[in-house]
Amino acid sequence: FYLTPPQVNSILKANEYSFKVPEFDGKNISSVLGFDSNQLPANAPIEDRRSAATCLQTRGMLLGVFDGHAGCACAQAVSERLFYYIAVSLLPHETLLEIENAVESGRALLPILQWHKHPNDYFSKEASKLYFNSLRTYWQELIDLNSGETTDVKEALINAFKRLDNDISLEAQVGDPNSFLNYLVLRVAFSGATACVAHVDGVDLHVANTGDSRAMLGVQEEDGSWSAVNLSYDHNAQNEHEVERVKMEHPKSEEKSLVKQDRLLGLLMPFRAFGDVKFKWSIELQKRVVESGPDQLNDNEYTKFIPPNYHTPPYLTAEPEVIHHKLRPQDKFLVLATDGLWETMHRQDVARIVGEYLTGVHHQQPIAVGGYKVTLGQMHGLLTERRARISSVFEDQNAATHLIRHAVGNNEFGTVDHERLSKMLSLPEELARMYRDDITIIVVQFNSHVVGACQSEQ
């Protein structure tokens, strides 16, 4: 039994989303043409999340992928909240004051973000008040701090990440009189999520990464070929610097127990994450919160379990590494994806597949007869074959979908094998996780003309 191609397509396309930046938005012309995004679940429910939004009070666009573990609560909360923290961190003093005054006097608030969401990307209504209050406290502190300096994007990103993680932790410690919310904030804090976020403003591209999702820039070389440039470092056991960092932060006596079987304390794959208070709080705090918490939490073996060799917390941080890159005309696109993609595909292949997809036929290596002896029949055969290949590309209207098709369906020759694709997609829920991870992809396409123009201005 195999899925038919239309069935395969309907599975692959269920979560796809595209956004094109309007050409004439009346303001500055954006260096971003638009983005395609998609998700393919392996877990049920899926634990990955994605977000995309345009900053309305400052310039720039935010895009991010979030890979949750031990449930999806943390990834969900981060996907809803992180961009607000970033946007607020970027706001100038006057705007913060204006916003605070509006809240104070009950006036309508300036919109901070314009979200670009797939209908399946939901926001939790119940928690919005709680989240808002935490955010407000943050901006009030920013107002009090008023450094008077212009906001540095890198710093803003780091502050926003750390602050949100801190708020998650605090909310769980304080609890909430509403039992639903109380349970929610605890679930958020006890689950975890990695985050890989890009901020694009003109030619300035910042990528802030926490965990093992990855950002990759697709670069078109002069000869038309594609190459990949990493814009993030994975925070896991494969990253020597990261292992080094963790070891530096703890006494030498723990050196052996810190990283076991390529996992933090032998348990956690990513070395940095949001939530996961089990790796951050002291044992006493964990016990106190779990005991005073609702029964569901108490019944959960996982939450009660204290990691082995847990001596000098915190072992985990949400502080991101930020990479700044000045876009060049040859930088054609950015891929943000959770580890589900990178486990199955090499970044070089990702660059090539997306690059060829985005440029379509026009940049397919043109045929030239040159000095060769070619007959009309031979040429016709060649062209028909090329067209068939192209039409398979255009089955997908979304670069992220196209990439997922390859990630799941690629055979050893690097071409999509329908049989394999169909098998992988028809795996029962309980088996799916064994063969593949959740995959979430955002492909951002840049406007080379605008980038070139900005570059020459500067």
Contacts with another protein by CB under 8 A lie at: 361, 364, 366-369, 373-377, 379-380, 382-384, 386-387, 390
For residues 227 and 364, which CB has a smaller minimum distance to another protein in the complex?
A: 364
CA 82 – CA 263 distance, rounded (Å): 26
| Choice between 326 and 380, CB closer to another protein | 380
Helix (H, G, I), strand (E, B) or coil at 306: coil
Distance CA 156, CA 145 (A): 14
CB closer to another protein, 391 vs 458: 391
Q: What angle do CA 191, 170, 278 make, to 5 degrees?
A: 35
Beta carbon nearer to another protein, 306 or 382: 382
Nearer to another protein, 306 or 367 (CB): 367
In the complex with another protein, the residue whose CB is nearer, 247 or 386, is: 386
Residue with token string 């502050």: 159
**Which amino acid type is present at position 417?**
D
Smallest gap from Cβ 380 to another protein, in A, equals 5
Neighbours of 138 (CB within 10 A): 20
Check if the beta carbon of residue 358 is closer than 8 Å to that of residue 332: yes
Least distance in Å: CB of 220 to another protein? Answer: 16
- Do 239 and 271 contact (CB within 8 A), yes or no? yes
DSSP 8-state code for residue 426: T
Least Å distance, CB 365 to another protein, is 10
Beta strands in 268-330 (DSSP E): 274-275, 321-326
CB of 376 to another protein, least distance (A): 5
CA-to-CA distance for 69 and 270, rounded, in angstroms?
Answer: 10
d(CA 337, CA 67): 9
Minimum separation from the CB atom of position 373 to another protein (A): 6
Q: Which is nearer to another protein, 109 or 367 (CB)?
A: 367
CB 339 within 8 A of CB 214: yes
Q: Return the DSSP state at 110.
A: P
Q: Which residue's CB is nearer to another protein, number 326 or number 389?
A: 389
**What phi-psi label fits residue 372: left (phi over 0), alpha (psi between -120 and 50 degrees) or beta?**
beta
Question: Please, what is the minimum distance in Å from the beta carbon of residue 352 to another protein?
Answer: 19
CB of 323 to another protein, least distance (A): 33
Instruction: Please report how close the Cβ of residue 386 comes to another protein at its closest, in angstroms.
Output: 6
DSSP readout, 148-163?
-SPPPHHHHHHHHHHH
Alpha carbons 431 and 443: distance in angstroms, whole number: 28
